[in-house]
Amino acid sequence: MAAPRYSSTTLAEDVRSDSTFRIPLIDFAAYKQATSLAEKRCIADDIVNGFKEVGFVYLTGNVIAPETVNSVFQKASIRILKASAEFFQLPEETKARLAWDDPKANRGYVQVGRERVTTSQDAAEIAALRAKAPDTKETMEIGRDNHPNFSNKWPQETEAPEFKETMLHFFQTCHEVHTMVMRSIALGLDLPEDFFDEKIDRQDHNLRLLSYPPIRTSLLLGDDQARAGAHTDYGTLTLLFQDSIGGLEVQNPHTKHYQPASPIPGTIVVNAGDLLARWSNDVFRSTLHRVVAPPAIKVNDTEGMTPARQSIAFFCNPNFDAIIESLPSCTSTSNPSKYPPLTTEQYIVGRLAATYS
């Protein structure tokens, strides 16, 4: 979709048809600038409605200053690496030294083909999918830097000047956005605005830098093959920053067909994850999404080349020891809790262990 569609119909009506499907565009500046709870509640209701009906929203209104995002994607000067793109251009032996090796830590470099995202939680099934159709991407995983048990894996300063400083600043900025959006969700669910604050304050999040290298289109034509397979995210929210290439698709929950979530300059794509769906007793949707090949550049009469793509995903998580159980405003006698309580760590580490085993 080139841009969200505006009409007199409701979002719930629009998403029932592929021809009218839309991801709502919400000006979050209005929430930050609101002077009363009533004003905040108007924006909160829009956000909650988006997560109920689609599972995705676009947030606009300089949620994060453009120069902050640009500093991650682009280099500030010829000599200083400040972008994820430059990290992935480092020598293979440098990146291999930083390899991901522990699902509890969830930090480090993941080479092309090592991951196969899917909805499955069965390690053997995931391994078979990975062998048949691995994701054609590489990633760098970064967690909070003050963790008592786990350390981030950084390239040396001489290899990537200011890389660590830039990413840690961006990590903190994204956590602050997460906190604000979760406050709006609390209001929209008839909870105190600060309900989630102490449940997300340890910053047990994951900043993922993603690089999708150029690939011949013939290699993406196999069964189940994609740049990133259909999956849901694990945590509360995901903040996604896309370049202009595109390729993200969101499943229409009603028709089960995939629809483009095209890049819109100045916005953040935000989607609800599995733990937020569990917390809300499935009031919110943790929607399937995938990354497919954008239009290819023609190489010859029978072959094309899909351009490189860069994106950055900030996976927002509750504190790892937080108990995730259905919220009181999302359950009733006629709608009891669908899920037993569990901790964030139990769910996320279990999913990561199956994915990378």
Is 19 inside any structural domain?
no
Query: Is 134 a residue whose pLDDT tops 90?
Result: no
Consecutive H or E run containing 11: helix 11-14
In the numeric block, the tokens 């890049």 are attached to 263
Residue 127 domain-assigned? yes
Average the pLDDT over 71-83 and give the result. 45
If pLDDT is split at 50, 70 and 90, which confidence band does 59 have?
A: very high
- Give residue 4's pLDDT: 47
**How far apart are the C-alpha atoms of 207 and 352, rounded to whole Å?**
15
Mean pLDDT of 120-130: 50
Output the domain CATH number for residue 73.
2.60.120.330
Residues 6+ apart with CB under 8 A from 82: 71, 72, 74, 75, 76, 162, 163, 166
Q: Tens digits of per-residue pLDDT, 42-53?
A: 999 999 999 999
Check if the beta carbon of residue 227 is closer than 8 Å to that of residue 135.
yes
Q: Which residue type occupies 327?
A: L
Model pLDDT, residue 228: 67
**Structural domain boundaries enclosing 201:** 24-356
Residue 15 domain-assigned (yes or no): no
Read off the tokens for 289.
């999404």
How many CB atoms neighbour CB 36 within 10 A?
A: 8
Q: What's 175-217 look like in SS3?
A: HHHHHHHHHHHHHHCCCCCCCCHHHHCCCCCEEEEEEECCEEH
Q: Provide the pairing of β-strand 228-231 with 258-260.
A: unpaired
Establish if 17 belongs to a structural domain: no
Say what the pTM is: 0.86
Q: Which residue has the higher pLDDT, 164 or 5?
A: 164
Average pLDDT over residues 284-293: 90
186 vs 161, more confident: 186
**Cα distances (Å, whole numbers) of residue 155 to 36, 86, 174, 350:** 46, 12, 22, 28
* Distant-in-sequence contacts of 148-157, Cβ < 8 A, 24+ apart: 149/104, 149/105, 150/102, 150/104, 150/105, 150/107, 151/105, 151/107, 152/107, 153/98, 153/99, 153/107, 153/108, 153/109, 154/98, 155/87, 155/90, 155/94, 155/98
Confidence of residue 352 (pLDDT cuts 50, 70, 90): confident
Look over the chain and give the mean of its residue pLDDT values, rounded to a whole number: 85
- Within 8 A by CB and 6+ apart from 323, the residues are 341, 342, 343
User: CA 17 from chain center: how many Å?
Assistant: 25
10 lies in some domain = no
Quote the percentage of the chain above a pLDDT of 70.
82
DSSP 26-73: EETHHHHH-SSHHHHHHHHHHHHHHHHHTSEEEEESSSS-HHHHHHHH
Asked if residue 3 belongs to a domain, the reply is no
Spatial separation of the C-alpha atoms in residues 100 and 114, rounded to whole Å: 10
The partner residues of 334 in beta bridges, in order of sequence, read: none
Supply the DSSP symbol for 308: P
Dist CA 56 CA 137 (whole Å) = 23
Q: How many whole angstroms separate alpha carbon 356 and alpha carbon 212? A: 18
**Within-domain flag for 250:** yes
Backbone angles phi, psi at 101, to 5 degrees: -145, 5
Count of structural domains, the chain:
1
Q: Is residue 242 within a helix (H) or strand (E), and if so which, with residue range? A: strand 237-242
Higher pLDDT, 116 or 253: 253
Distance of CA 77 to the CA centre of its chain: 28
Q: Which pLDDT belongs to residue 79?
A: 28
H-run or E-run covering 167: helix 163-188
In the structure, what pLDDT confidence band is assigned to residue 221 with cuts at 50, 70 and 90?
Answer: low
Taking the CB of residue 155, how many other CB atoms lie within 10 A of it? 19
> Alpha carbon of 141 to those of 17, 61, 64, 219, 286: distances in Å?
37, 28, 21, 26, 22
DSSP 3-state helix, strand, coil percentages of the chain (rounded to 5)? Answer: 30, 20, 50
Residue 122 above 60 pLDDT?
Answer: no
The answer to whether the beta carbons of residues 5 and 25 sit under 8 Å apart is no
* Residue 13 forms part of a structural domain: no
CA distances from 119 to 108, 220, 315, 320 (A): 23, 20, 17, 21
